[in-house]
Structure 1
Amino acid sequence: METDIIPPSCCKIKSKNISLIVKHIFKELYPDIGKNKVLEIIFVSENEIRDYNKQYRKIPRSTNVLTFMYSELDDYIPTLASIVLCIDVIKRRAKAHKRGINDELKHTLIHGILHAAGFDHHKLSQRKKMRALEDKYMKEFQTVVLI
């Protein structure tokens, strides 16, 4: 699995560590995933993510992360999904959750990766499973610095 990252203009991120998290999670969840698969990680402004949220989810406000699935695990389409992140919203959520920006970004990234891996949280049973995986990976990557 490859990771294409479009970094934010506002700050430096550790692209290598983002790729490490992506590869680890997908290798664990889908050990047979092809090496030709690509997951895009795109950092955008608050206005851009608000526009995406309004256009694709009909919700006219900004959000921290959106995941767009393209090929599921189809071998003929290389890009699996795009995870769109907004640092400004992530910073506000970090403050609201009383945790550092690095941990909030890590949690948001893991959340987006799990969506790209096919997990959802609309039903309670799905939400419990997804949260358990988020907690597991937050512990596993506790010392990893992203920003």
Structure 2
Amino acid sequence: MTSPRHQVEISRTVEALDEEPDEPSIVQAVELVLNSLERPNSELSLRLVSEKEIVELNNTYRSKEGATNVLSFPADIQIEQVDILGDVVICPSVVAKEANDFGKTYADRFRHMLVHGVLHLLGYDHMEDQERERMETLEIRLLSQLGIENPYE
């Protein structure tokens, strides 16, 4: 789906789960992040994958075992005045389990992981305490604009 300023390519290798945000809601969340951080003319891809695939990606690219909720693969290249930000990969089944564990709705947890993944594409991280606080504060602000309560409470 395309907007005047951003392009979000969505692909999936798994069926959509109940309560999964629709494409316009996904694009809205991505555009909120990009507009808030003044990243015009940006493009990224979102891939929704199985647990098996996220395990393989996590092992191959992060040398970590097991499934994870979201991975980000920054590209940070420019082609014809368009910033190609990279790829966000989300595992819906892991996100659904976490939503249940954390007492959140699946749709809210999904959009949280989407915002989180896009922030990683833009260079945000949470390896150090100060970085984590900065990223979480930004996530809370952005998610509130989507009508989502603080995910860390």
Question: TM-score of the superposition, structure 2-length normalised?
Answer: 0.83
Structure 1 residue 116: Cα displacement: 1.1
- Residue in structure 1 matched with residue 22 of structure 2 by the alignment: 14
Q: Secondary structure at the match of 1:69?
A: strand
Structure 1 residue 30: Cα displacement: 2.3
Rounded Cα–Cα distance in structure 1 between residues aligned with 2:139 and 2:69: 16
Q: Does 1:30 align with 2:38?
A: yes
Which letter maps to 1:27? N
Question: TM-score of the superposition, structure 1-length normalised?
Answer: 0.86
Rounded Cα–Cα distance in structure 1 between residues aligned with 2:72 and 2:23: 18
- Residue in structure 2 matched with residue 75 of structure 1 by the alignment: 78
Rounded Cα–Cα distance in structure 2 between residues aligned with 1:7 and 1:101: 17
Q: How many residue pairs get matched? A: 138
Q: Does 1:63 align with 2:57?
A: no
Aligned Cα root-mean-square deviation (Å): 1.7
- Residue in structure 2 matched with residue 133 of structure 1 by the alignment: 138
Rounded Cα–Cα distance in structure 2 between residues aligned with 1:7 and 1:59: 23
Gaps in structure 1 of 5+ consecutive residues: none
Provide the identity percentage: 27
Higher fraction of strand: 2
